[in-house]
Structure 1
């Protein structure tokens, strides 16, 4: 037994989070921003004041058509990233000296690439965030009419905080299936001298990307194992009122510890549906973590500008941290 043991949180307790932690109606019956409401003008000004050196670091992974699924999510098996170039051949025509190339790019939205999950991505008992009814609002042709990533069109610009969980344990990465607890999050805060607060973008470093690229993926019952947050972290996330949650994995520990398929990814399900919490999956944190450790500072200016895609549940994105 250790101080980081996972609390006994049964499935009924997790199901109860939809009511006890929910933000439905908090910002109005027609709200589509969810926790992004917590990023106020004052919060943005606070984040800008964190820029000291002016060093910018990309937190996005490359999207590579030669390697569409390096993290072995399985998504790219059914939807491949495609790049089709067309050379216009202007040279020699009417004296023209230039050529140009155009592209068509298709992306498996929820695959290995760094991406933002919009609030229409998950539903529970037929309802999405703020009570929007799936059957009324989502079609296979037009997508989600009330909730989409375009709702984040003004960007996610706020104070960023990274909690380095592998460093807490003195390891390069957490092993697949490691469930991160509230005790670990709070010990990382204490160790790093930071406190996660309202309107922050919280990034949780697990080392999943580094480990997967080094050793490949471990699969259990058809599901890729990975370290991530345990469902018992959900009340803490709600209490801290964070605006967005990102990780170098997909937030949830896999397996989740619950045999019921309904609780396959409780951080995703409760977070998106009940809290209206925006999630950033598969961040590239390796270079950034080294920079933070070297400077012994774990708060920074964070900016992410997702594409204004109407009716879509995800956007490829390139988050930037500036130190």
Structure 2
């Protein structure tokens, strides 16, 4: 028999697909979702967040010798270099020369990457009601790929430092962040998340894994078994009400292990955000340096920039997001 709390939790997630839906909000053919909230006025206002001129990278390295630094289990980075491009391809020597390269990346893993709206589907539908049945393994996403963000994600960013809220280096792994935590961080930092913002949430998860290694809840090191602090499903209404354009965390967004035993509901933040709300997500950011910089400056808002690749059919893009304080 299903536990009553388990059943109620699953039913609430199902309701969120309806009550928090942005389907049709920007038209039946919309491919941008919450990126529509980054208006010219929002970009102009975001420029006012630059008060020091300090730039901070929010990504980890892409390293073929260490392709899965956060132990996500699905990362791959390959580079094939040809030293001496001119001689190799043209068969002649010259005083000038170059290095030719071929690069292959599996971005949906431990690398810092953008999840496009076509990455998740629920009951066969992606954001705005597009059918996943029209996508194929060969061509990728038919309707929703990262190319639709080709103007870039350039907006005001806000860091909510949950580790700082608790005065710890790393939030306890497996901790479920609540809406009350988000509100408390806003109050402590004297900042408010507003429409069009990029919301970044610092838990210290990435830094903890790099320092101490991964933590697993079972003997089998499955993709979803890594114990991480993340958002509780109850945070979804906060994200919708504040009308954020994109969200990034130093983990996989969803608290792990999942709160519900039903595997259908293992990633409710991803599923409801990407499919229901059309909210773009950035996984596995490295936010410890930004948390330190914002604390020193006593400034938790900044100009946020992220420029995904224009890749037709791809639902992901490796990123080097940058915050400018």
TM bin, normalised by shorter chain, reads: over 0.9
- How big is the shift at 1:131? 0.2
Structure 2: how far apart are the matches of 1:182 and 1:267? 13
**Gap regions ≥5 residues in structure 2:** 1-6
Structure 2: how far apart are the matches of 1:211 and 1:55? 25
Indicate which of 251, 261, 264 corresponds to 2:263. 261
Structure 2: how far apart are the matches of 1:256 and 1:243? 25
Pair 89,27 (structure 1): closer, same or farther in 2 beyond 3 Å: closer
Q: TM-score, normalised by structure 2?
A: 0.93
1:159 equivalent to 2:161? Answer no
Structure 1: how far apart are the matches of 2:314 and 2:112? 16
Q: Which residue of 1 aligns with 2:98?
A: 100
- How big is the shift at 1:95? 6.7
Indicate which of 168, 190, 193 corresponds to 1:193. 190
Structure 2: how far apart are the matches of 1:89 and 1:280? 35
Spell out the pairing of 1:94-133 with structure 2 (5 A cutoff). Answer: 96-133=94-131
Is the CA contact (8 Å cut-off) linking 1:159 and 1:201 kept in structure 2? yes
Is the CA contact (8 Å cut-off) linking 1:230 and 1:256 kept in structure 2? no
Is the CA contact (8 Å cut-off) linking 1:70 and 1:213 kept in structure 2? yes
Q: TM-score, normalised by structure 1?
A: 0.94
Q: Which residue of 2 aligns with 1:82?
A: 78
**Aligned-pair RMSD on alpha carbons?**
1.6
Q: Which residue of 2 aligns with 1:73?
A: 72
Is the CA contact (8 Å cut-off) linking 2:118 and 2:145 kept in structure 1? yes
1:44 equivalent to 2:40? Answer no
Is the CA contact (8 Å cut-off) linking 1:65 and 1:81 kept in structure 2? yes
Divergent runs of 4+, >4 A? none
* Partner SS, residue 75 of structure 1: coil
Is the CA contact (8 Å cut-off) linking 2:215 and 2:226 kept in structure 1? yes
Is the CA contact (8 Å cut-off) linking 1:90 and 1:97 kept in structure 2? no
Q: Which residue of 1 aligns with 2:235?
A: 233
Indicate which of 244, 247, 254 corresponds to 1:252. 254
* Partner SS, residue 10 of structure 1: helix
Pair 171,120 (structure 1): closer, same or farther in 2 beyond 3 Å: same
**Gap regions ≥5 residues in structure 1:** 1-7
Structure 1: how far apart are the matches of 2:128 and 2:54? 38
1:298 equivalent to 2:295? Answer no
1:276 equivalent to 2:273? Answer no
**1:144-168 Cα distance to aligned partner (Å, 9 max, x none):** 1210011100000001000000111
Structure 1: how far apart are the matches of 2:258 and 2:79? 35
Is the CA contact (8 Å cut-off) linking 2:85 and 2:100 kept in structure 1? no
Is the CA contact (8 Å cut-off) linking 1:119 and 1:278 kept in structure 2? yes
Decide which moves more: 180-189 or 284-293. 284-293
